[in-house]
Amino acid sequence: MFASLTLTGVRGSIVWAYHDAATIAQWVVRRSRDEQTQQWRWRLAATLGPSVDRFKLRQRPLRFVAPRHGGFWCWQLRELTLTDRTLVANLDPPEY
């Protein structure tokens, strides 16, 4: 299988329940193996779009949703770091 995996896109959103917490203008999701635990780690790095609700971004659970051909990808965020225009988060494995 792959030692690492990188997915990129130009649209996406962070959702809380049925509410958009933030739009994503550009994103990268990387899967890599943790050297100590040998478990897969998923990490999101994203540029925020024009719509950001900082109150909703503090709620839980949050999910990152990105469209793809034939459907969408969805990951639950475990922890996130938010700056003015960027977001970095650790993710659970993708939901199907």
List the domain boundaries for the chain.
4-91
Residue 2 predicted with pLDDT over 80: no
What pTM value is reported for the model? 0.92
Q: Phi first, then psi: give them for residue 92, nearest 5 degrees.
A: -75, 165
In this predicted structure, what is the pLDDT of residue 1? 61
**Is residue 89 a contact partner of residue 76, using CB atoms and an 8 Å limit?**
no
DSSP string, 25-44: EEEEEEEEE-TTT--EEEEE
Question: Would strands 86-91 and 71-82 be described as parallel, antiparallel, or unpaired?
Answer: antiparallel
Average pLDDT, the chain: 95
- Quick: pLDDT tens for 16-27: 999 999 999 999
- Quick: pLDDT tens for 30-73: 999 988 888 999 999 999 999 999 999 999 999 999 999 999 99
What are the CA-CA distances from residue 50 to residues 25, 33, 34, 66, 88 (Å)? 8, 33, 34, 16, 17
